[in-house]
């Protein structure tokens, strides 16, 4: 049985730096899968999503747990390791869950014209990264990058709001890739 005290970084300085680098690379190179390790969170939280939480979420930010991940074990783990205040979707800086459980994504903050950075980042858990169903282009992509996305029309609508909009970190197992709001998405 796992305790909320376990599952964090065992070599915090090195693992936190490596995980932070993976998160930066994921957002700087949309669609390129990055390895991210070090966390052993309670199920159904993937090691990748756990490492993202340990790296980006702390007591200075708010977190929304979608029903897919709103369990007593995850609440306790987040409280101990991150200290983030858990809030409703509309007040969240970060949100965690499966795509279906996070929806509708329109309820998350997309920023304002004066402060586009006041938007939410969604940490989307996927069972696996499957065959590519989308073509990505934009900043950080040399020409095009293919990726497996959960809901292309919703992500296209998000991009249409740029510079406002949501940013996404998609996690599966010990892998993560980023999808910033600046990325153009076309269905394959």
**Under CATH, domain 12-187 is a member of which superfamily?**
Bacterial phosphonate metabolism protein PhnH (3.40.50.11310)
- Please check whether residue 7 is in contact with residue 39, taking contact to mean a CB–CB distance below 8 angstroms: yes
Q: Is the peptide bond before 45 cis (omega within 30 degrees of 0)?
A: no
CB count within 10 Å of CB 100 equals 11
The pLDDT > 70 percentage for the chain reads 98
The pLDDT > 90 percentage for the chain reads 95
CA distance 57 to 71: 18
At 97, is the secondary structure helix, strand, or coil?
A: strand
CA distance 19 to 54: 9
Mean local confidence (pLDDT), 12-32: 97
CA distance 104 to 119: 15
What pTM, to 2 d.p., does this model score? Answer: 0.96
Q: Quote the distance between the C-alpha of residue 187 and its chain's center.
A: 21
Confidence band for 3, pLDDT divided at 50, 70 and 90: low
CB count within 10 Å of CB 163 equals 12
CB count within 10 Å of CB 116 equals 15
3-state secondary structure 27-85: HHCCCCCEECCCCCCCCCCCHHHHHHHHHHCCCCCEEEECCCCCCHHHHHHHHHHCCCE
CA distance 177 to 3: 28
- Please check whether residue 129 is in contact with residue 175, taking contact to mean a CB–CB distance below 8 angstroms: yes
Mean local confidence (pLDDT), 117-146: 97
- Model confidence over 80-107: pLDDT tens digits? 999 999 999 999 999 999 999 999 999 9
pLDDT, residue 2, reads 61
- Model confidence over 29-88: pLDDT tens digits? 999 999 999 999 999 999 999 999 999 999 999 999 999 999 999 999 999 999 999 999
- Kindly list the domain boundaries of the chain, sorted by start residue: 12-187
């Amino acid at each position: 049985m796992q305790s909320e005290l376990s599952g964090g970084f065992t070599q915090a300085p090195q693992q936190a730096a490596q995980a932070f680098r993976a998160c930066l690379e994921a957002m700087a190179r949309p669609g390129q899968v990055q390895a991210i390790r070090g966390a052993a969170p309670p199920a159904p939280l993937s090691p990748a999503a756990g490492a993202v939480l340990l790296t980006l979420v702390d007591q200075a930010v708010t977190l929304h747990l979608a029903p897919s991940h709103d369990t007593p074990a995850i609440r306790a783990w987040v409280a101990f390791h991150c200290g983030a205040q858990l809030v409703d979707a509309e007040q969240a800086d970060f949100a965690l869950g499966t795509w279906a459980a996070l929806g509708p994504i329109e309820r998350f903050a997309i920023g304002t014209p004066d402060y586009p950075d006041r938007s939410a980042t969604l940490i989307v858990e996927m069972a696996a990264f499957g065959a590519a169903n989308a073509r990505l282009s934009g900043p950080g992509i040399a020409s095009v990058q293919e990726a497996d996305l959960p809901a292309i029309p919703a992500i296209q609508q998000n991009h249409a709001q740029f510079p406002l909009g949501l940013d996404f970190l998609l996690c599966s197992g010990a892998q993560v890739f980023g999808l910033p709001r600046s990325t153009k998405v076309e269905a394959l």
